[in-house]
Chains A and B, each alone.
Chain A
Amino acid sequence: MIPTQFDYIAPATLDEAIQLLADNAYDAKLLAGGHSLIPAMKLRLAQPAMLIDIGRIKDLAYIREEGGQILIGAMTTHYQLESSERLKEICPLLPETAGHIGDAQVRNKGTIGGSLAHSDPAADWPATVIALNGEIVATGKNGERTIKADDFFVDMLTTALEPVEILREIRVPLVQGRAGQAYTKVPHPASGFAVVGVAVNLSLGADDVCQSASVGITGAAVKAYRARGVENALNGNRIDEALAQTASAHAADGVDLNGDLYASADYRRHLVEVYTRRAILKAFAQAK
Protein backbone atom coordinates (compact mmCIF):
# COMPACT_ATOMS: atom_id res chain seq x y z
CA MET A 1 0.00 0.00 0.00
CA ILE A 2 1.66 3.14 -1.20
CA PRO A 3 0.46 6.73 -0.87
CA THR A 4 0.61 9.21 -3.73
CA GLN A 5 3.80 11.25 -3.86
CA PHE A 6 4.10 14.42 -1.87
CA ASP A 7 6.44 17.23 -0.92
CA TYR A 8 7.74 16.86 2.61
CA ILE A 9 8.68 19.77 4.82
CA ALA A 10 9.60 19.67 8.50
CA PRO A 11 9.63 23.26 9.79
CA ALA A 12 11.69 23.95 12.89
CA THR A 13 9.39 26.60 14.33
CA LEU A 14 5.68 27.17 14.70
CA ASP A 15 5.92 30.46 12.78
CA GLU A 16 7.42 28.66 9.80
CA ALA A 17 4.68 26.05 9.96
CA ILE A 18 2.01 28.77 10.06
CA GLN A 19 3.53 30.45 7.01
CA LEU A 20 3.83 27.18 5.08
CA LEU A 21 0.23 26.34 5.84
CA ALA A 22 -0.91 29.83 4.85
CA ASP A 23 0.87 29.48 1.50
CA ASN A 24 -0.35 25.95 0.78
CA ALA A 25 -3.59 25.57 2.75
CA TYR A 26 -5.50 23.71 0.06
CA ASP A 27 -2.75 21.26 -0.99
CA ALA A 28 -0.97 20.64 2.28
CA LYS A 29 -1.74 18.55 5.33
CA LEU A 30 -0.10 18.77 8.71
CA LEU A 31 1.58 15.55 9.80
CA ALA A 32 1.51 14.87 13.54
CA GLY A 33 1.71 11.21 14.69
CA GLY A 34 0.54 10.07 11.26
CA HIS A 35 -1.63 7.34 12.78
CA SER A 36 -4.79 8.57 11.10
CA LEU A 37 -3.29 10.47 8.19
CA ILE A 38 -0.87 7.84 6.87
CA PRO A 39 -3.49 5.05 6.75
CA ALA A 40 -5.83 7.51 4.97
CA MET A 41 -3.06 8.33 2.48
CA LYS A 42 -2.31 4.66 1.85
CA LEU A 43 -5.99 4.04 1.18
CA ARG A 44 -5.90 7.13 -1.06
CA LEU A 45 -8.66 8.72 0.98
CA ALA A 46 -6.26 11.62 1.42
CA GLN A 47 -3.83 12.70 -1.30
CA PRO A 48 -2.10 15.82 -0.05
CA ALA A 49 0.49 17.33 -2.37
CA MET A 50 2.53 18.42 0.63
CA LEU A 51 3.08 17.18 4.16
CA ILE A 52 4.10 19.69 6.80
CA ASP A 53 5.60 17.59 9.58
CA ILE A 54 5.10 19.47 12.85
CA GLY A 55 6.93 16.79 14.80
CA ARG A 56 10.26 18.62 14.66
CA ILE A 57 8.95 21.83 16.18
CA LYS A 58 10.35 22.27 19.66
CA ASP A 59 7.98 22.66 22.56
CA LEU A 60 4.72 21.43 21.09
CA ALA A 61 4.66 18.44 23.46
CA TYR A 62 4.11 19.38 27.10
CA ILE A 63 1.79 19.16 30.08
CA ARG A 64 1.83 22.30 32.23
CA GLU A 65 -0.26 23.97 34.91
CA GLU A 66 -0.87 27.68 34.62
CA GLY A 67 -3.52 30.10 35.82
CA GLY A 68 -5.93 27.45 37.10
CA GLN A 69 -5.67 25.43 33.90
CA ILE A 70 -3.85 22.40 32.58
CA LEU A 71 -2.16 23.20 29.27
CA ILE A 72 -1.39 20.36 26.88
CA GLY A 73 0.71 20.82 23.77
CA ALA A 74 -0.84 19.47 20.56
CA MET A 75 2.05 17.06 19.89
CA THR A 76 1.82 15.43 23.32
CA THR A 77 1.44 11.70 22.67
CA HIS A 78 -1.29 9.52 24.10
CA TYR A 79 1.47 7.70 26.00
CA GLN A 80 2.79 10.89 27.59
CA LEU A 81 -0.72 11.65 28.84
CA GLU A 82 -1.31 8.07 29.98
CA SER A 83 1.91 7.92 31.97
CA SER A 84 1.87 11.37 33.58
CA GLU A 85 1.94 10.86 37.36
CA ARG A 86 0.93 14.47 37.91
CA LEU A 87 -2.18 14.10 35.74
CA LYS A 88 -3.18 10.97 37.63
CA GLU A 89 -3.40 13.22 40.66
CA ILE A 90 -4.95 16.36 39.26
CA CYS A 91 -6.99 15.15 36.29
CA PRO A 92 -7.20 11.34 36.18
CA LEU A 93 -9.68 11.39 33.31
CA LEU A 94 -6.89 12.36 30.90
CA PRO A 95 -4.57 9.40 31.61
CA GLU A 96 -7.55 7.06 31.92
CA THR A 97 -8.81 8.03 28.47
CA ALA A 98 -5.34 7.81 26.94
CA GLY A 99 -4.99 4.25 28.23
CA HIS A 100 -8.09 3.24 26.25
CA ILE A 101 -6.67 4.32 22.90
CA GLY A 102 -5.55 1.58 20.50
CA ASP A 103 -2.50 -0.29 21.78
CA ALA A 104 0.94 0.60 23.13
CA GLN A 105 2.43 1.21 19.68
CA VAL A 106 -0.40 3.54 18.68
CA ARG A 107 -0.15 5.44 21.96
CA ASN A 108 3.59 5.92 21.53
CA LYS A 109 3.14 7.84 18.29
CA GLY A 110 -0.40 9.24 18.10
CA THR A 111 -1.00 12.72 19.52
CA ILE A 112 -3.91 14.37 21.28
CA GLY A 113 -3.78 17.30 18.83
CA GLY A 114 -3.91 14.97 15.83
CA SER A 115 -6.81 13.04 17.29
CA LEU A 116 -8.87 16.15 18.02
CA ALA A 117 -8.07 17.75 14.65
CA HIS A 118 -8.98 14.53 12.86
CA SER A 119 -12.22 14.24 14.84
CA ASP A 120 -12.97 10.63 14.07
CA PRO A 121 -16.52 9.95 15.29
CA ALA A 122 -15.17 6.95 17.23
CA ALA A 123 -12.10 8.64 18.75
CA ASP A 124 -11.78 8.74 22.53
CA TRP A 125 -10.35 12.21 23.22
CA PRO A 126 -13.36 14.24 22.01
CA ALA A 127 -15.64 12.83 24.73
CA THR A 128 -13.10 13.60 27.43
CA VAL A 129 -12.24 17.09 26.25
CA ILE A 130 -15.96 17.92 26.21
CA ALA A 131 -16.49 16.44 29.69
CA LEU A 132 -13.54 18.45 31.03
CA ASN A 133 -15.01 21.66 29.56
CA GLY A 134 -11.82 22.04 27.59
CA GLU A 135 -10.76 24.68 25.12
CA ILE A 136 -8.75 24.35 21.96
CA VAL A 137 -6.19 26.95 20.99
CA ALA A 138 -5.92 27.41 17.23
CA THR A 139 -3.21 29.50 15.68
CA GLY A 140 -2.74 30.65 12.10
CA LYS A 141 -1.83 33.50 9.82
CA ASN A 142 -4.74 35.54 11.23
CA GLY A 143 -3.57 35.14 14.81
CA GLU A 144 -4.71 32.95 17.62
CA ARG A 145 -8.16 32.08 18.95
CA THR A 146 -9.67 29.82 21.57
CA ILE A 147 -12.51 27.48 20.69
CA LYS A 148 -14.68 25.77 23.30
CA ALA A 149 -14.72 21.98 22.97
CA ASP A 150 -18.50 22.21 22.61
CA ASP A 151 -18.09 24.28 19.44
CA PHE A 152 -15.04 22.47 18.09
CA PHE A 153 -16.58 19.24 16.76
CA VAL A 154 -18.75 20.24 13.82
CA ASP A 155 -19.53 17.05 11.94
CA MET A 156 -18.01 13.70 10.94
CA LEU A 157 -14.23 14.34 10.55
CA THR A 158 -14.95 18.06 10.57
CA THR A 159 -13.89 20.59 13.19
CA ALA A 160 -14.08 24.33 13.62
CA LEU A 161 -10.42 24.65 12.54
CA GLU A 162 -9.84 26.70 9.40
CA PRO A 163 -7.58 25.14 6.74
CA VAL A 164 -4.88 27.69 7.66
CA GLU A 165 -5.04 26.96 11.39
CA ILE A 166 -2.88 24.75 13.54
CA LEU A 167 -4.21 23.27 16.75
CA ARG A 168 -1.52 24.41 19.15
CA GLU A 169 -2.76 23.62 22.62
CA ILE A 170 -5.58 22.05 24.64
CA ARG A 171 -6.62 23.71 27.90
CA VAL A 172 -8.72 22.22 30.64
CA PRO A 173 -9.69 23.89 33.91
CA LEU A 174 -8.19 22.42 37.07
CA VAL A 175 -10.94 20.93 39.20
CA GLN A 176 -11.53 22.38 42.65
CA GLY A 177 -12.97 20.62 45.68
CA ARG A 178 -14.47 17.16 45.68
CA ALA A 179 -14.55 15.76 42.17
CA GLY A 180 -14.84 12.44 40.40
CA GLN A 181 -14.04 11.51 36.83
CA ALA A 182 -14.35 8.37 34.76
CA TYR A 183 -14.24 7.06 31.21
CA THR A 184 -16.06 3.92 30.13
CA LYS A 185 -15.76 2.43 26.68
CA VAL A 186 -16.96 -0.39 24.48
CA PRO A 187 -13.99 -0.93 22.16
CA HIS A 188 -14.64 -2.30 18.71
CA PRO A 189 -13.19 -5.82 18.82
CA ALA A 190 -11.17 -5.34 15.64
CA SER A 191 -10.17 -1.68 15.51
CA GLY A 192 -10.15 -0.80 19.20
CA PHE A 193 -11.97 2.46 18.45
CA ALA A 194 -14.99 3.38 20.57
CA VAL A 195 -18.30 1.79 19.63
CA VAL A 196 -19.39 3.94 22.54
CA GLY A 197 -17.23 5.96 24.93
CA VAL A 198 -18.54 8.00 27.84
CA ALA A 199 -16.56 10.55 29.86
CA VAL A 200 -18.03 11.87 33.10
CA ASN A 201 -16.68 14.69 35.21
CA LEU A 202 -18.56 15.36 38.48
CA SER A 203 -18.13 18.03 41.07
CA LEU A 204 -19.76 17.11 44.36
CA GLY A 205 -20.87 19.01 47.43
CA ALA A 206 -21.74 17.83 50.89
CA ASP A 207 -24.18 14.90 51.10
CA ASP A 208 -23.08 13.67 47.67
CA VAL A 209 -25.11 16.37 45.96
CA CYS A 210 -23.94 16.94 42.42
CA GLN A 211 -22.92 20.57 41.93
CA SER A 212 -21.98 20.21 38.34
CA ALA A 213 -21.93 17.26 35.98
CA SER A 214 -20.28 17.28 32.62
CA VAL A 215 -20.77 14.35 30.27
CA GLY A 216 -19.17 13.78 26.83
CA ILE A 217 -20.13 10.88 24.57
CA THR A 218 -18.24 9.56 21.56
CA GLY A 219 -18.66 6.71 19.09
CA ALA A 220 -22.42 6.91 19.14
CA ALA A 221 -23.12 9.62 16.57
CA VAL A 222 -21.41 11.46 13.69
CA LYS A 223 -19.49 13.49 16.23
CA ALA A 224 -18.87 13.53 19.96
CA TYR A 225 -21.55 15.41 21.89
CA ARG A 226 -22.40 16.76 25.33
CA ALA A 227 -25.21 14.82 27.00
CA ARG A 228 -27.11 17.78 28.44
CA GLY A 229 -30.11 15.68 29.43
CA VAL A 230 -27.90 13.58 31.69
CA GLU A 231 -26.18 16.64 33.16
CA ASN A 232 -29.52 18.33 33.93
CA ALA A 233 -30.82 15.20 35.61
CA LEU A 234 -27.72 14.98 37.82
CA ASN A 235 -27.24 18.64 38.73
CA GLY A 236 -28.54 19.59 42.17
CA ASN A 237 -29.41 16.03 43.07
CA ARG A 238 -27.88 13.49 45.37
CA ILE A 239 -26.03 10.85 43.44
CA ASP A 240 -26.93 7.24 43.98
CA GLU A 241 -27.67 4.20 41.85
CA ALA A 242 -31.27 5.17 41.22
CA LEU A 243 -30.32 8.66 40.05
CA ALA A 244 -27.57 7.28 37.81
CA GLN A 245 -30.15 4.99 36.25
CA THR A 246 -32.75 7.71 35.56
CA ALA A 247 -30.15 10.25 34.41
CA SER A 248 -28.49 7.86 31.98
CA ALA A 249 -31.81 7.27 30.24
CA HIS A 250 -31.24 10.74 28.71
CA ALA A 251 -27.81 9.87 27.27
CA ALA A 252 -29.00 9.80 23.66
CA ASP A 253 -31.77 12.41 23.88
CA GLY A 254 -32.17 14.24 20.59
CA VAL A 255 -29.18 12.47 19.02
CA ASP A 256 -29.26 10.63 15.71
CA LEU A 257 -27.31 7.46 16.52
CA ASN A 258 -24.98 5.60 14.17
CA GLY A 259 -25.78 2.09 13.09
CA ASP A 260 -23.30 -0.21 11.40
CA LEU A 261 -22.50 -3.88 10.91
CA TYR A 262 -21.22 -4.23 14.44
CA ALA A 263 -23.83 -2.23 16.36
CA SER A 264 -27.27 -1.12 15.17
CA ALA A 265 -28.58 2.28 16.27
CA ASP A 266 -30.88 0.59 18.80
CA TYR A 267 -28.04 -1.42 20.27
CA ARG A 268 -25.90 1.72 20.45
CA ARG A 269 -28.69 3.49 22.35
CA HIS A 270 -28.67 0.65 24.84
CA LEU A 271 -24.86 0.77 25.14
CA VAL A 272 -24.81 4.54 25.54
CA GLU A 273 -27.29 4.36 28.41
CA VAL A 274 -25.59 1.47 30.19
CA TYR A 275 -22.09 2.91 29.82
CA THR A 276 -23.26 6.34 30.93
CA ARG A 277 -24.74 4.84 34.08
CA ARG A 278 -21.51 2.95 34.74
CA ALA A 279 -19.39 6.04 34.12
CA ILE A 280 -21.50 8.11 36.54
CA LEU A 281 -21.17 5.48 39.27
CA LYS A 282 -17.47 5.01 38.62
CA ALA A 283 -16.85 8.77 38.76
CA PHE A 284 -18.90 8.96 41.93
CA ALA A 285 -16.86 6.14 43.50
CA GLN A 286 -13.62 7.95 42.61
CA ALA A 287 -14.82 11.04 44.42
CA LYS A 288 -15.08 9.32 47.77
Chain B
Amino acid sequence: MSRKPKQKAHIEFTLNGETAEVAFAPHKTLLEVLREDLNLTGTKHGCELGECGTCTVLVDRKPILSCLMLGLDVEGREVTTVEGMNEGAQLHPLQETFADTGAAQCGYCTPGFLLVAKELLTKNPNPTREEIKEALSGNLCRCTGYIKIYEAVELAAAKMRGESVELPKESVYGYE
Protein backbone atom coordinates (compact mmCIF):
# COMPACT_ATOMS: atom_id res chain seq x y z
CA MET B 1 0.00 0.00 0.00
CA SER B 2 1.59 3.28 -1.07
CA ARG B 3 0.25 6.85 -0.86
CA LYS B 4 1.74 10.04 -2.26
CA PRO B 5 1.23 13.14 -0.11
CA LYS B 6 -0.93 14.95 -2.67
CA GLN B 7 -3.09 11.94 -3.43
CA LYS B 8 -6.08 11.26 -1.24
CA ALA B 9 -6.00 7.94 0.55
CA HIS B 10 -9.07 5.79 0.20
CA ILE B 11 -9.68 3.13 2.81
CA GLU B 12 -12.34 0.81 4.14
CA PHE B 13 -12.78 -0.24 7.74
CA THR B 14 -15.48 -1.23 10.20
CA LEU B 15 -16.82 1.73 12.14
CA ASN B 16 -19.31 1.16 14.94
CA GLY B 17 -20.35 -2.13 13.38
CA GLU B 18 -20.80 -0.86 9.84
CA THR B 19 -18.48 -0.74 6.87
CA ALA B 20 -17.10 2.75 6.33
CA GLU B 21 -15.36 4.00 3.23
CA VAL B 22 -13.53 7.27 3.37
CA ALA B 23 -11.03 9.37 1.41
CA PHE B 24 -8.65 11.81 3.14
CA ALA B 25 -5.20 13.38 3.00
CA PRO B 26 -2.69 10.68 4.01
CA HIS B 27 -1.09 12.65 6.83
CA LYS B 28 -4.35 12.86 8.78
CA THR B 29 -4.65 11.15 12.13
CA LEU B 30 -7.56 8.84 12.86
CA LEU B 31 -8.93 11.59 15.11
CA GLU B 32 -9.03 14.04 12.22
CA VAL B 33 -10.50 11.49 9.83
CA LEU B 34 -13.28 10.65 12.29
CA ARG B 35 -14.17 14.26 12.99
CA GLU B 36 -13.55 15.96 9.67
CA ASP B 37 -14.20 13.28 7.07
CA LEU B 38 -16.79 11.14 8.86
CA ASN B 39 -18.45 13.89 10.92
CA LEU B 40 -18.21 11.89 14.13
CA THR B 41 -17.38 14.71 16.51
CA GLY B 42 -17.88 12.72 19.72
CA THR B 43 -14.18 11.95 19.79
CA LYS B 44 -12.35 15.03 21.09
CA HIS B 45 -9.13 16.87 20.32
CA GLY B 46 -7.15 17.53 23.49
CA CYS B 47 -3.40 17.67 23.87
CA GLU B 48 -2.72 16.02 20.48
CA LEU B 49 0.39 14.37 21.94
CA GLY B 50 -0.86 11.32 23.78
CA GLU B 51 -1.10 12.78 27.27
CA CYS B 52 -4.80 13.40 27.95
CA GLY B 53 -6.76 10.43 26.58
CA THR B 54 -9.80 12.38 25.41
CA CYS B 55 -9.25 11.18 21.84
CA THR B 56 -9.45 7.51 22.89
CA VAL B 57 -11.36 5.13 20.61
CA LEU B 58 -11.40 1.33 20.50
CA VAL B 59 -9.42 -0.21 17.66
CA ASP B 60 -9.87 -3.95 17.40
CA ARG B 61 -11.49 -3.65 20.86
CA LYS B 62 -8.49 -2.01 22.53
CA PRO B 63 -8.35 1.60 23.74
CA ILE B 64 -6.07 3.55 21.41
CA LEU B 65 -5.21 7.23 21.16
CA SER B 66 -6.66 8.39 17.86
CA CYS B 67 -4.45 11.50 17.90
CA LEU B 68 -1.35 9.31 17.57
CA MET B 69 -2.61 6.86 14.98
CA LEU B 70 -2.71 7.59 11.29
CA GLY B 71 -6.09 7.25 9.62
CA LEU B 72 -4.36 4.96 7.14
CA ASP B 73 -3.52 2.58 9.95
CA VAL B 74 -7.16 1.54 10.51
CA GLU B 75 -7.60 0.07 7.04
CA GLY B 76 -9.39 -3.26 7.54
CA ARG B 77 -9.63 -2.82 11.29
CA GLU B 78 -12.60 -2.42 13.62
CA VAL B 79 -13.15 0.96 15.26
CA THR B 80 -15.65 1.89 17.97
CA THR B 81 -16.28 5.51 18.90
CA VAL B 82 -18.60 6.92 21.55
CA GLU B 83 -21.28 7.16 18.85
CA GLY B 84 -21.24 3.36 18.70
CA MET B 85 -21.83 2.70 22.40
CA ASN B 86 -25.60 2.83 22.53
CA GLU B 87 -27.79 0.01 21.24
CA GLY B 88 -30.44 1.83 19.20
CA ALA B 89 -32.33 4.05 21.62
CA GLN B 90 -30.85 2.25 24.61
CA LEU B 91 -27.84 3.96 26.20
CA HIS B 92 -24.95 1.82 27.36
CA PRO B 93 -25.13 1.32 31.17
CA LEU B 94 -21.95 3.38 31.49
CA GLN B 95 -23.57 6.26 29.65
CA GLU B 96 -26.53 6.06 32.02
CA THR B 97 -24.48 5.99 35.19
CA PHE B 98 -22.13 8.76 33.98
CA ALA B 99 -25.18 10.96 33.41
CA ASP B 100 -26.91 9.94 36.65
CA THR B 101 -23.96 10.43 38.99
CA GLY B 102 -22.55 13.61 37.52
CA ALA B 103 -19.45 11.82 36.27
CA ALA B 104 -19.72 14.04 33.20
CA GLN B 105 -19.57 17.74 33.96
CA CYS B 106 -18.27 19.74 31.01
CA GLY B 107 -18.22 16.39 29.22
CA TYR B 108 -15.08 16.97 27.23
CA CYS B 109 -13.25 13.99 28.67
CA THR B 110 -16.32 11.74 28.79
CA PRO B 111 -16.13 9.91 25.44
CA GLY B 112 -12.59 8.77 26.23
CA PHE B 113 -13.48 7.62 29.73
CA LEU B 114 -16.58 5.79 28.49
CA LEU B 115 -14.68 3.76 25.92
CA VAL B 116 -11.83 2.83 28.25
CA ALA B 117 -14.36 1.83 30.91
CA LYS B 118 -16.36 -0.19 28.38
CA GLU B 119 -13.29 -2.18 27.44
CA LEU B 120 -12.37 -2.64 31.12
CA LEU B 121 -15.81 -4.06 31.95
CA THR B 122 -15.66 -6.42 29.00
CA LYS B 123 -12.39 -7.85 30.30
CA ASN B 124 -13.23 -7.61 33.97
CA PRO B 125 -16.93 -7.43 34.94
CA ASN B 126 -16.14 -6.86 38.61
CA PRO B 127 -13.14 -4.55 38.88
CA THR B 128 -11.89 -3.17 42.18
CA ARG B 129 -11.53 0.58 42.69
CA GLU B 130 -7.77 0.17 42.21
CA GLU B 131 -8.24 -1.68 38.93
CA ILE B 132 -10.60 1.01 37.71
CA LYS B 133 -8.10 3.73 38.64
CA GLU B 134 -5.29 1.92 36.86
CA ALA B 135 -7.37 1.32 33.72
CA LEU B 136 -8.47 4.95 33.58
CA SER B 137 -5.08 6.42 34.44
CA GLY B 138 -4.45 7.49 30.85
CA ASN B 139 -7.47 9.81 30.85
CA LEU B 140 -7.45 13.27 32.36
CA CYS B 141 -10.51 15.08 33.68
CA ARG B 142 -10.28 18.69 34.77
CA CYS B 143 -13.78 18.93 36.27
CA THR B 144 -14.93 15.99 38.33
CA GLY B 145 -12.02 15.09 40.56
CA TYR B 146 -12.44 11.50 39.28
CA ILE B 147 -14.42 10.14 42.27
CA LYS B 148 -17.75 10.40 40.43
CA ILE B 149 -16.20 8.69 37.43
CA TYR B 150 -15.00 5.75 39.51
CA GLU B 151 -18.43 5.50 41.15
CA ALA B 152 -20.17 5.58 37.78
CA VAL B 153 -17.99 2.72 36.52
CA GLU B 154 -18.71 0.70 39.66
CA LEU B 155 -22.44 1.30 39.33
CA ALA B 156 -22.46 0.39 35.64
CA ALA B 157 -20.49 -2.77 36.40
CA ALA B 158 -23.07 -3.77 38.99
CA LYS B 159 -25.90 -3.03 36.57
CA MET B 160 -24.25 -5.10 33.88
CA ARG B 161 -23.85 -7.99 36.32
CA GLY B 162 -27.60 -7.82 36.78
CA GLU B 163 -27.47 -6.50 40.34
CA SER B 164 -29.99 -3.91 41.41
CA VAL B 165 -28.19 -0.68 42.08
CA GLU B 166 -29.05 2.44 43.96
CA LEU B 167 -27.61 5.79 43.04
CA PRO B 168 -25.67 7.54 45.79
CA LYS B 169 -28.13 9.78 47.66
CA GLU B 170 -26.27 12.98 46.78
CA SER B 171 -26.48 12.16 43.07
CA VAL B 172 -30.25 12.37 43.30
CA TYR B 173 -30.85 14.99 46.00
CA GLY B 174 -27.56 16.87 46.02
CA TYR B 175 -25.57 17.53 49.18
CA GLU B 176 -27.46 18.87 52.20
Contacts and interface: CB of A to CB of B under 8 A. Distances in A.
The answer to whether A and B come from one shared complex is yes
B135 interface: yes
A5 B4 CA distance: 9
A118 interface: no
A3 interface: yes
A191 B63 contact: no
A56 B50 CA distance: 22
Interface of A: 1-10, 31, 34-35, 38-39, 42-43, 51, 53, 55-56, 79, 102-106, 108-109, 190-191
A105 B72 contact: no
A42 B65 CA distance: 15
Interface string B10-50: 00000000000000011101000000000000000000111
B32 to A, nearest CB: 8
Contacts of A1: 48-49
Contacts of B70: 8, 31, 34, 38, 51, 53
Mostly helix, strand, loop or mixed at chain A's interface? mixed
11 contacts: A5-B25, A5-B27, A6-B26, A8-B1, A8-B9, A8-B72, A35-B50, A35-B68, A53-B70, A105-B116, A106-B138
B109 interface: no
Given A34-B68, A39-B68, A105-B116, 10 more contacts: A5-B25, A5-B27, A7-B2, A42-B49, A43-B49, A56-B1, A102-B50, A103-B137, A108-B62, A109-B69
A105 B53 contact: yes
Contacts of A79: 62
Contacts of A42: 48-49
A109 B27 contact: no
B-side interface size class:
20 to 34
A106 B3 contact: no
B72 A103 contact: no
A9 B69 contact: no
Contacts of A103: 53, 137-139
Contacts of B97: none
Nearest to B29: A38
Contacts of B49: 1, 39, 42-43
- Which 3 pairs between the two chains have the least Cβ-Cβ distance? A103-B138, A5-B5, A8-B3
Given A8-B26, A53-B72, A79-B62, A104 B137 contact: yes
B3 A38 contact: no
B53 to A, nearest CB: 6
A108 B65 CA distance: 9
Interface string B39-80: 000000000111101001000001111001110110000000
B51 to A, nearest CB: 7
Q: Which of A79, A105, A191 has most chain B Cβ within 10 Å?
A: A105
Q: Which of B9, B25, B68 has most chain A Cβ within 10 Å?
A: B68
Nearest to A35: B68
A2 B116 contact: no
Given A6-B26, A39-B50, A103-B53, A53 B73 contact: yes
B1 A104 contact: no
Contacts of A51: 70
A6 B5 contact: yes
A90 B125 CA distance: 29
